Structure 1
Amino acid sequence: MSKVVLDVSVSLDGFTTGPDVREDEPMGDGGERLHEWMGGGGIDEVVRRQVDEAVGATVIGRRTFDLGLRPWGGTPWAGVPSFVVTHRTRQDLLGDNGGTFAFDGLEAAVRRAGDAAGGKDVLVLGAGVARQLLAAGLLDEVWLHLVPVLLGGGTPLFGGERAELVPVGEPGTGDALVTHLRYRVARP
């Protein structure tokens, strides 16, 4: 059965983007620093490969889709179906890399992504949709890549939501001094 997993890089001060997110700077000012670890070797490379191998479908927030479509050149993972959470539905969109974007409400997007994932995980992209999923009890795990940088502003990860998280596995620190953490969302 598919798990709904938020896989996200976050600064030490809790931001998933830098300040001033905009079309020409979708990660905000300084936000690309959060993803530099993905080009590293050692543990960082192993973690990146595990994430890539786990993804069967994605659930994406509308703002993340709007800002990410151009830099991704299609779906975030080539050929992987992606479900955009939105109130403004539209016809499916075929990405340049063979993946399809479908547009739906929160619960329908998660259900459809789970069906499409083929037993693999549904990865969540976007802090806003992650908060919605957590509040709705639809988020199963959180995989954090804690980057040793203070951005001073940007998009906060969970901004006001409350949950109990249970560690899964051992933390690992990669070559870029990024700490990789995994948690299961505890159910009441």
Structure 2
Amino acid sequence: MSRIVLDVSVSLDGFTTGPNVREEEPMGDGGERLHEWHAGKGPDGEADAGVLRESDGTIGAVLVGRRSFDLGLGPWGGTPWPGVPTFVVTHRTREDLLGDNGGTFAFDGLEAAARRAEEAAGDKDVWVLGADVARQLLRAGLLDEVRIHLVPLLLGEGTPLFAGERAELVPEGRPVAGSVTHLRYRVLKAVR
């Protein structure tokens, strides 16, 4: 059975992007540095590469917020992972869009998109892209797991990860230390 998983790189001060997110800088000023660990070249980079390989192998479908879709479509060249069905959470629905890399974008409201993504993922996981859609999923009780890649970087401002949301989280496994610290948590429930 698939799980809905937020897998996100976050700065030590809690931001998922740098400031001034815009078309020319979809990750904001300095935000691309949050993903430098993907190259596996930093201190203990082999640990980072192992985490990335393991995580990428679990992706069966993607849930993405409309703003992330609007900003990411050009740089991605299609769906965020080639051939992986991607569901855009939006109030502005439209016909499906075939990405240049073989993946399809479908547009729907939060609960319908989550349900469709779980069906499409089969026995793999549904990955979440975008802090806003992650907050919406948490609030709706639909987020199952949070994987945080804690980057030793202070961005000072940008997009905060959970911006005021509250939840009970349970650690899953041990932290993995590479050039960043990789953490996993199961979501018990949102706290109101």
- TM-score interval, smaller chain: over 0.9
1:121-155 CA-partner distances (Å, limit 9, x unpaired): 00000000000000000000000000000000000
Equivalents in 1 of 2:65, 2:47: separation in Å? Answer: 29
Is 1:164 aligned to 2:168, yes or no? Answer: yes
Structure 1 segments (4+ residues) deviating >4 Å: none
Match of 1:42 among 42, 46, 67: 46
Letter in 1 for 2:16: T
Consecutive unaligned residues in structure 1, runs of 5 or more: none
Equivalents in 2 of 1:43, 1:187: separation in Å? Answer: 30
Is 1:182 aligned to 2:184, yes or no? Answer: yes
Match of 2:157 among 127, 149, 153: 153
Equivalents in 1 of 2:104, 2:8: separation in Å? Answer: 22
Is 1:102 aligned to 2:106, yes or no? Answer: yes
Q: TM-score, normalised by structure 1?
A: 0.98
1:50 is displaced (CA, Å) by: 1.2
Equivalents in 2 of 1:159, 1:59: separation in Å? Answer: 19
1:51 is displaced (CA, Å) by: 1.4
Equivalents in 2 of 1:187, 1:10: separation in Å? Answer: 21
1:187 is displaced (CA, Å) by: 3.2
Equivalents in 2 of 1:187, 1:25: separation in Å? Answer: 34
**Aligned-pair identity (%):** 76
Equivalents in 1 of 2:73, 2:156: separation in Å? Answer: 26
Equivalents in 2 of 1:34, 1:15: separation in Å? Answer: 9
- Greater CA drift, 137-146 or 35-44: 35-44
Structure 2 counterpart of 1:32? 32
Q: CA RMSD in A?
A: 0.8
Consecutive unaligned residues in structure 2, runs of 5 or more: none
Judging by fraction of residues, say which structure has more strand: 2
1:43 is displaced (CA, Å) by: 0.8
Equivalents in 1 of 2:19, 2:50: separation in Å? Answer: 30
Equivalents in 2 of 1:92, 1:85: separation in Å? Answer: 13
1:185 is displaced (CA, Å) by: 0.3
How many residue pairs get aligned? The number is 186
Letter in 2 for 1:186: L
1:20 is displaced (CA, Å) by: 0.3
Equivalents in 1 of 2:31, 2:162: separation in Å? Answer: 17
Equivalents in 1 of 2:52, 2:176: separation in Å? Answer: 12
SS at match of 1:110: helix
Describe how 1:1-188 pairs up with structure 2 within 5 A: 1-40=1-40, 41-174=45-178, 176=179, 178-187=180-189
1:98-132 CA-partner distances (Å, limit 9, x unpaired): 00000000000000000000210000000000000
